[in-house]
Amino acid sequence: MSEPNINDLLRGIGLRVAPDALSALITHATKSKLGPLQVIEQLALIERRQRDTKNLEQRIKSAALGTPKPLDQFDWNHPAEIDRSLYEHLYQSLEFLRAGENVLFRGAAGLGKTMLSRHLGLRALAEGHAVRFTSLSAALADLLRQESIPATERRLKRYTLPSLLILDELGYLACDSRAADMLFHIVTARHHRRSVIITTNLAYKQWASVFPGATCLSALVDRFAQHCHTFDIKGESWRDRDAQTRLAKKRPTKS
């Protein structure tokens, strides 16, 4: 009867050390004449690094944050109004996340709301938090297409459990009262416990145009806004300015 493979033995007790990493450890231990405790310590460190890497990969995939333009390329001088100091405080400290506070980015299209929200998500990911980014319309459509109450309850966990939920583009598509009820359920489940970031082009009083006839709207706004850091971003669309600049460069110069 052949001796069991060391990798099979390790996997049998729940370790997932890659074969090449294990081979390198054995070679190093042999050459350096490491003692049993030192070998176990090195093995545990390798296993922890691999688990951390796999965990981060899973959280990145689940977050769906994409690859926004680097934050250091954001032109803070372009908006006519934006609270840069507050943003940098939230970004560096992540205190809002630990306190279960919300963040609202409000302003016209093309002013960087989505980019700034994504970078808060990336920062939270880097610090070990679970994050999910989605447009509001996609999240509500996902929930409303579920065919049973149990299926809806299971799918709701996708939006209630992450440490940070980012709902992009509230105000671009109208939703019915059922969608408003779903959003209210999400905000209520996360209230005081987990943070929500919303980007929108609308003031609170205009949310009724997105959820016409929704009886829960007042309570929804109250709960979201109760502990919320608000960024009112004002100015000309960066995308419009960039498009005009590119067009001007293409125009032939007069002789």
Single out the residue of 66, 72, 65 nearest to residue 88, CA to CA.
Answer: 72
Single out the residue of 67, 62, 43, 50 nearest to residue 162, CA to CA.
Answer: 62
Answer yes or no: is 190 within a domain.
Answer: yes
Answer yes or no: is 164 within a domain.
Answer: yes
Answer yes or no: is 226 within a domain.
Answer: yes
Residues 140, 234: contact at Cβ < 8 Å? no
Work out the angle at residue 203's Cα, subtended by the Cα atoms of residues 197 and 204, and round it to the nearest 5 degrees: 75
* Per-residue confidence (pLDDT) for residue 247, from 0 to 100: 58
- 122 burial class (0-12, 13-18, 19+ CB within 10 angstroms)? buried
Q: What is the CATH number of the domain that holds 191?
A: 3.40.50.300
50 and 127 in a single domain? The answer is no
Instruction: Give the tens place of pLDDT for each residue, 192-220.
Output: 999 999 999 999 999 999 999 999 999 99
- Where does the pLDDT of residue 104 fall: very low under 50, low under 70, confident under 90, or very high at 90 and above? very high
Residue ranges making up the domain that contains 37: 6-63
129 and 164 in a single domain? The answer is yes
Of the candidates 45, 63, 81, which is a domain's last residue? 63
- Where does the pLDDT of residue 143 fall: very low under 50, low under 70, confident under 90, or very high at 90 and above? very high
Q: What percent of the chain has pLDDT over 70?
A: 92
Instruction: Give the tens place of pLDDT for each residue, 54-80.
Output: 777 778 888 899 999 999 999 999 999
Phi–psi pair at 176, nearest 5 degrees? -85, 180
C-beta neighbour count of 105 within 10 angstroms: 26
* Per-residue confidence (pLDDT) for residue 77, from 0 to 100: 93
Question: Quick one: how far is CA 110 from the chain centroid?
Answer: 20
Whether 131 shows a pLDDT value over 80: the answer reads yes
Between the CA of residue 173 and those of 95, 209, 231, 255, what are the distances in Å? Answer: 32, 10, 21, 48
